[in-house]
């Protein structure tokens, strides 16, 4: 049974110190670990919120789940997880 669209999001801002280190890494090359960590944490938090909202709706699964990002202002971005909350039943 389909319950509807479910979503979870978080908005994160960059850290000035991390920007300095990231700018240096951009010059010399390599992974920008500070931003990789920020993105991973944002993804996990938005997924946790999606799962909590799906449970509130009575869902036991989410199908067609996707992530998207958007810049809200300079230095801050949103990570959004969304999908369709469903109840999966045994046959």
CATH number at residue 60: 3.30.110.70
Low-confidence ranges of the chain (pLDDT < 70): 15-29
Question: Does 79 reside within a domain?
Answer: yes
CB atoms within 10 A of CB 56: 10
In a domain, 16, yes or no: yes
| Ranges assigned E (strand) in 1-91 | 2-13, 61-73, 76-86
Domain membership flag for residue 14 = yes
pLDDT at site 68: 96
pLDDT at 45: 98
Q: State the pLDDT at residue 28.
A: 64
* Angle (CA) 8 75 72, round 5°: 50
- pTM > 0.85: yes or no: no
91 lies in a domain? Answer: no
What confidence score (pLDDT) does residue 27 get? 63
Domain that holds residue 36: 2-86
Alpha carbon distance 9, 50 (integer Å): 8
Number of domains in the chain: 1
């Amino acid at each position: 049974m389909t319950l509807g669209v479910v979503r979870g999001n978080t908005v994160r801002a960059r850290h000035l110190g991390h920007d300095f280190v990231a700018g240096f890494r951009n010059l010399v090359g390599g992974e920008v670990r500070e931003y990789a960590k920020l993105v991973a944490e944002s993804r996990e938090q938005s997924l946790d919120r999606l799962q909590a909202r799906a449970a509130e709706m009575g869902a036991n699964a989410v199908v067609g789940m996707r992530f998207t990002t958007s810049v809200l202002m300079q230095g801050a971005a949103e990570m959004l997880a969304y999908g369709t909350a469903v109840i999966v039943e045994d046959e």
